[in-house]
Amino acid sequence: MTERFASLMERKLPMLDRLAVITARDQYVRKVLIPMFSDEALDSEVRTAFQSGAGGYIYQVDTLNTAELKLILQEYSWADIIEGEPQLFTQVFHVVQHSPDEAFRAEVLAEIAPYAERGEIDGQEYALMYDRVELAAGRQQLYGSQLECLNGQFDVHDLKDPEGVDARRASMGMQPLQDYLEQGRALYGPC
């Protein structure tokens, strides 16, 4: 076990600093900006303007993070990231999920599918990325994880087989869709 751990750390430590920067940047902008634009005390026009401006800033961060992650993936594989500690994948997952590069997300989804099938990565994370990739390709989402502003509140759109969604969500370790919607609406506020 000690040799295996030493070998794992020897391979992973050089990439950890680089991954830590992009994953911290990804989460920091969201943890700072989302509570600001979901503040119910904001006038609706101010909220809309702030959401738009914040969205532009987040887009810049996501573009930078995507470019840096692609450089890391030239040296390391998804197996290197996932092996021995799936929580590292969880951190990197958010960077991919937030990437504005649709082709990159689809490519990563295909690469991580075997890990999801074997239960080596979180099913909910796989479902989130799957839905985002499907919608970007003009297809319907399967798990109802992607929300859109409809009639002033966030709601699910383009959902395939709505009657079976909660069973699919449960199979991926996700909560019922209605609970997810309520949490999303509370987090993001009106839109």
pLDDT at 190: 79
Q: What is the mean pLDDT of residues 12-25?
A: 89
Min mean pLDDT across 71-75, 82-86, 140-144 is at 82-86
pLDDT at 1 over 70: no
Encoded tokens for 13? 């430590």
30: left (phi over 0), alpha (psi -120 to 50) or beta: alpha
Q: What is the pTM of this model?
A: 0.81
**Pick from 82, 16, 51, 57: nearest CA to 152:** 51
Under DSSP, is residue 150 helix (H, G, I), strand (E, B) or coil?
strand
Q: How far is CA 61 from CA 29, 57, 58, 75, 92, in A?
A: 8, 7, 5, 22, 14
**Pick from 63, 78, 53: nearest CA to 22:** 63
Cα separation, 69 vs 72, whole angstroms: 5
Give me the residue label for tokens 């680089």: 18
Q: What is the mean pLDDT of residues 84-106?
A: 90
Read off the amino acid at residue 122.
D
pLDDT at 7 over 70: yes
Q: pLDDT, tens digit, for every residue of 132-181?
A: 999 999 999 999 999 998 888 889 989 999 999 999 999 999 999 999 99
Give residue 2's pLDDT band: very low, low, confident or very high (50, 70, 90).
Answer: confident
Question: How are the residues of the chain apportioned to helix, strand and coil, as percentages rounded to the nearest 5?
Answer: 70, 5, 25
pLDDT at 111: 95
